[in-house]
Amino acid sequence: MSGYDPEFLGADLPVPLPGFSAALDGLVLRVPTLDREVFAHYVNYTVAMNRQPHRRSAVFAALNIDRMRLRPVSRSDRWRIDSRIGADFQLDNAYYRDNPWDRGHLARRASAAWGDSNAAAGRASDETFYYANAALQHSHYNQDEWLALEEWVLGMDGVAEGRVSSFSGPIYDAFVRSIEPEGRPVATVPSAFFKVLCFRNTAGGLEVRAFVIEQDTAALADRRGRTRYDHQRYQVTVAEIEARTGLLFPAIVAEANPLFFTRPAEDTRPDIARLPDTQFPEAREVDDAHEVLGPGADRTELADDEVDVFLAAALVNPAGDERAGEWVSIINLSNHAVDLAGWQLSDTRRPRLGLSGTLGPGEAIRVQPIRPLMLANSRAGVIELYDDTGRRIDRVRYTEAQAKAEGRPAIFAYRETEAYRGP
């Protein structure tokens, strides 16, 4: 089995497998049946495993994706134990049965299913159904949306030859959940997942995009910086992933990522240097391909945690005239009046809608109609609120189910106000 190829993007642009920090190194499974006692190779991808009894999951899965040779092959869904790793170091089906946890592919089946023939692609697809390539993902976690990050990058302008090297894996933070099937040892549930995507651009250089999706609110509550939300995708720095996993990516990978872990020098990026300290390390929500930041992308100051004005609800799919019936409500939960002159609503795709008027403490307004905005009535979407200085004040995401519920408003989850946020 060939496994992950470090020179997949070109011999002149190698992307080696990540190394391990001193803290992680002793937790990596080492058995003589694996390459260098660590790496299990499959068709088009490679995994390294965690040896801890309560984890029994991959430390990472490294996958080469060749879009030009992808083939639409059927999926086997026949999960199996890899004997080279050993049954004691993999979570079998007992951990995914009769509970809210799914077998989440780390190396994505559809992305691995490529080759010079249907038979080769089918074999690669089947090879992703090893429990070593699975991790406990909550059923509410939309795997297709998360894994579609690879498709977003492949679909971007400037990806040379449709090739991407992808690294994925679980994150275990200090606050963790666990499950214990009857008669089986306890297993820890990941608090988040990461994905790092590397590709050659048309100028021949390396570009990187890094992402995290959280799935544990207890872990979120202890994080420094801006509030994060469960099951939300974030574009992040490679350094954050390294800090949370113990993995050590090659320096070229971290340097090619467009987000900053610490504030850059003002003469390097004055637009970013002006951002408040709370925005570092950088982490940006991404719900669609056009929101992924590349090199040199402008930044918006995020004031979601500072201004207590919120998007409260929206009628995404009204009965009757959809364009006339759509509305968005905004509520002021601060203790002072807010002048909305110069404020704007955005659906992240079309020209923004200007607002006006004043919101007293505790007051709400309904904005209707919302042209030129258009809410999606058959898929998930995003609404954003900006103040008169261009700062983003709030951002909400409605689900596909909410979008399809004709005549029923989407009520957005409670967000903590400044008065109760604490130091």
Active site residues: 105
Could you tell me if 192 and 215 are in contact, meaning their C-beta atoms sit under 8 angstroms apart?
yes
The C-alpha angle with vertex 407 and arms to 403 and 408, in degrees rounded to 5, equals: 65
Q: Which tokens go with 303?
A: 């004031």
- On whether the CB atoms of residues 315 and 412 are closer than 8 A, the answer is no
Beta strands of 83-228 (E only): which ranges? Answer: 101-105, 134-138, 163-171, 177-179, 187-189, 192-200, 206-214
73 within 8 A of 122, measured Cβ to Cβ: yes
Q: Which residues have a Cβ under 8 Å from the Cβ of 306 and sit 6 or more positions away?
A: 418
Cα separations in angstroms, 361 against 157, 224, 336, 365, 416? 46, 29, 5, 12, 16
Is there a binding annotation on residue 93? no
CB atoms within 10 A of CB 196: 27
Cβ contacts of residue 399 below 8 Å, gap of 6+? 380, 410
Report the alpha-carbon distance of residue 380 to residue 347 in Å, rounded. 11
Q: Is 339 helix (H, G, I), strand (E, B) or coil?
A: strand
Q: Summarize the annotated binding site for Mg(2+) as residue ranges.
A: 142
Residues of each annotated binding site: 142
